[in-house]
A and B are shown apart, each in its own frame.
Chain A
Amino acid sequence: MNDKNIIICRCEDVTLADVLEYLNKGMTNIEDLKRQLRIGMGPCQGQTCQELLQREIARFLGVPIEQVKTQKTRPLAGGVKLKDIARGSKDE
């Protein structure tokens, strides 16, 4: 299968070809790839693509997957509407 047709991050439409392009440029850590490709920045916050990406990096570098650091986890755990937060904090 063509690498351009293999989607790694489905929130942001990042393909395996995109990932390999940046790995070949020398950007081999998840924080760099996230910022340049938006991988893991979508609504699921990397919950789907993170492990796939780790595996690709591990394969590329020839290291065990445990040595590939995951991205920093940021709040919120799930999407919440701004107006619900605004209303919630007014009611307190």
Chain B
Amino acid sequence: MNKNIVIIGAGISGCSIAYQLAKKGVKDILVIDKGYLTNGATGRCGAGVRQQWGTKANCILAKMSIDFFEHAQKELDYHDDIEFKQEGYLILSSSKEEDETFRKNVALQNELGIPSRVVNIEEALKIVPHLNPKAFTSATFCQTDGHLNPFKMTEAFYLAAQKKGVEFHFFEEVTSIDVKNHQIQAVHTSKGVYETHIVVNAAGGFSKEIGDMVGIDIPVYSEKHEILVTEPIEKMQGPMVMSFTQNIYCQQVPHGSFLMGRTTPNQPHGHDISSSWQFLDEMSKTVTRIMPKIGELRVIRQWGGSYNVSPDRQPILSDCEQLSGFYIACGFSGHGFMFSPMTGILMSELILKQPTSVDINDYLMSRFQANQPTDFEKSVV
């Protein structure tokens, strides 16, 4: 079977790329996933979308992605609700050092058109009244950040892409990729062979393994991050509350439940995404210290997922110098969901050799070969 383009991975990135390519008139696109829709990192993420970043490259992707989400429901003609809620992210600072970093971040964000601001303890308590005032020293707030339902957003891209003729194969695993004369020839899966000259690696946690299939060493690794969810209650919190040093993000989703996650330090790299009691312990302690009232809620479920981490914790959106026809969208370092609209737009421009909507150099894989260090993103939980 001949295919124009084979996209590996039906998470939010793969679906967004497929949609943008189809929108530009590309025919015979096939998206392959080894599981169900959103079974990787997308369906396991914290459902937050934010623009408060510490590097210019991340700020730009985030801002333009939020612009897309604001009209996504309409553009994708989605029958259901993507649950986009712009009630902000409140990021807590816990030290003088962090205060200073945040001030610099806000200045950068404002310069790029992101309406974030520094708030003091009093103002923060007006935004989230149940915060423990002793748990932070100041905060930053951006009203246009917020919540988006990962399952619904992905389904919206998926259905819109399907309507434009994109073919999706689920429960089908890519096993090898044929390369001849520095060109991709075919993709082999557990169910068949597809002849193609263009492959897009949007395999999330497994993108390094896909790179290995064609002899391209992608500088990323996968790492387990865990989340828990509580029983639903009446609305009591608008924004996502987040702290990098105290290691927490916590929001009440429109459904009513609270969703919260943190990083387990010293995780071995790999594909283990099992749930741990250590996470449950630490998460409970952290959240009851910062927001004691939330301690009254019962935990319903916990789960794990993969961050696919790049050396500077900024995404890799790239073609490949050593292998033409091989395109890479990975290394989102935990934020592929919120950058997904720009992933689709920029990857489609790269593949179709069109001028890119933003300067692509900061996102190319070749940035790691240059001798100058890239901006390192510190604002990650």
Q: Does A5 contact B (CB under 8 A)?
A: no
One digit per residue, 1 when the CB lies within 8 angstroms of any chain B CB and 0 when it does not, for chain A 22-65 equals 00000101011001101001110100000000000000000000
Contact, CB under 8 Å: B302 / A75: yes
Known: A35-B151, A85-B284. A76 touches B295 (CB 8 A): no
Q: Given A29-B36, A43-B231, A89-B285 in contact, is the A83-B255 Cβ separation under 8 Å?
A: no
Query: Which chain A residues lie closer than 8 Å to B301 at the CB level?
Result: 41, 45, 74-76
Q: Is the CB of B300 within 8 A of A79?
A: yes
Contacts of B151 in A (CB 8 A): 35-36
Q: B-facing mask of A66-92, CB < 8 A → 1, else 0?
A: 000000001110011111011001100
Q: Contact check, A82 vs B297: say whether CB atoms are below 8 A apart.
A: yes
Q: Taking the nearest CB of chain B, how far is it from the CB of A43, in angstroms?
A: 6
Query: What is the bound-complex CA distance between A29 and B301, given in angstroms?
Result: 20
* Number of B residues, CB within 8 Å of A: 31
Q: Tell me if B298 is interfacial: C-beta within 8 Å of chain A.
A: yes
Does B296 lie at the interface of the complex (its beta carbon under 8 Å from any beta carbon of A)?
Answer: yes
Q: Mark B221-242, 1 if CB is under 8 A from A, else 0.
A: 0000000001100000000000
> How far, in angstroms, from A86 to B290 measured CA to CA in the complex?
12
Docked-complex contact B288 and A83, CB < 8 angstroms: yes
CA distance A89 to B282 in the complex (A): 8
- Number of contact residues on A: which range applies? 20 to 34
CB distance from B280 to the nearest CB of A (A): 6
Q: Chain B contacts of A38 at CB under 8 A? A: 255
Residues of A within 8 A of B292 (CB): 83
Chain B residue, CB-CB nearest to A78 = B298
Contact with A along B302-319 (1 / 0, CB 8 A): 110000000000000000
CB distance from A27 to the nearest CB of B (A): 8
**B217, chain A: closest CB distance, angstroms:** 32
Rounded to whole angstroms, the CA-CA distance of A82 and B298 in the bound complex is 6
* Interface membership of B183, Cβ < 8 A: no
Give the total number of A-B pairs whose CB atoms are below 8 A apart: 78
A26 CB to closest chain B CB (Å) equals 9
Whether B252 sits at the interface, judged by CB under 8 Å, is no
A80-B295 CB under 8 A given contacts A31-B39, A35-B151: no
Given contacts A32-B36, A36-B151, contact A80 B285 (CB under 8 A): no
B300 contact from A45, A85, A90, Cβ within 8 A: A45
Q: Which residues of B contact A86 (CB under 8 A)?
A: 281, 284-285, 287-288, 295
Query: Which residues of chain B have C-beta atoms less than 8 A from A76's C-beta?
Result: 280, 299-302
CA distance A21 to B151 in the complex (A): 16
User: By the criterion CB–CB under 8 Å, are B294 and A79 in contact?
Assistant: no
Given the complex, which residues of A lie within 8 Å of B39, measured CB to CB?
31
A82 contacts B295, C-beta separation under 8 Å:
yes
Select A35's contact among B38, B283, B284, beta carbons within 8 Å.
Answer: B38
Knowing A35-B43, A75-B275 are in contact, say whether A80-B302 is a contact too (CB < 8 A): no
Q: Are A90 and B299 in contact (CB under 8 A)?
A: no
CA distance A86 to B283 in the complex (A): 8
Measured between beta carbons, the chain B residues less than 8 angstroms from A35 are 36-38, 43, 151
Contact yes or no, A81 B297, CB < 8 A:
yes
Bound-complex Cα distance A92 to B62 (A): 42
Determine the residue in chain A with the shortest Cβ distance to B278: A89
Q: How far is A36 from B83 in the complex, measured between Cα atoms in Å?
A: 12
> Among the interface residues B37, B43, B255, B300, which one has the most CB atoms of the partner chain A within 10 A?
B300
**Besides the contacts A38-B255, A83-B296, what 10 more A-B pairs have beta carbons closer than 8 Å?**
A27-B37, A35-B37, A35-B151, A43-B300, A45-B301, A74-B275, A75-B275, A81-B299, A82-B283, A83-B288
19 sampled A-B residue pairs with Cβ under 8 A: A31-B36, A38-B255, A43-B298, A74-B303, A75-B280, A76-B299, A79-B298, A79-B300, A81-B298, A82-B288, A82-B294, A82-B295, A82-B296, A82-B297, A85-B281, A86-B284, A86-B285, A86-B287, A89-B285
Which 3 A-B pairs rank lowest in CB-CB distance, beginning with the nearest?
A: A83-B295, A79-B298, A85-B284
Residues of chain B touching chain A, judged by Cβ–Cβ distance below 8 Å, are 35-39, 43, 151-152, 155, 230-231, 255, 275, 280-281, 283-285, 287-288, 292, 294-303
Q: Which A residues have a C-beta under 8 Å from some C-beta of B?
A: 27, 29, 31-32, 35-36, 38, 41-43, 45, 74-76, 79-83, 85-86, 89-90
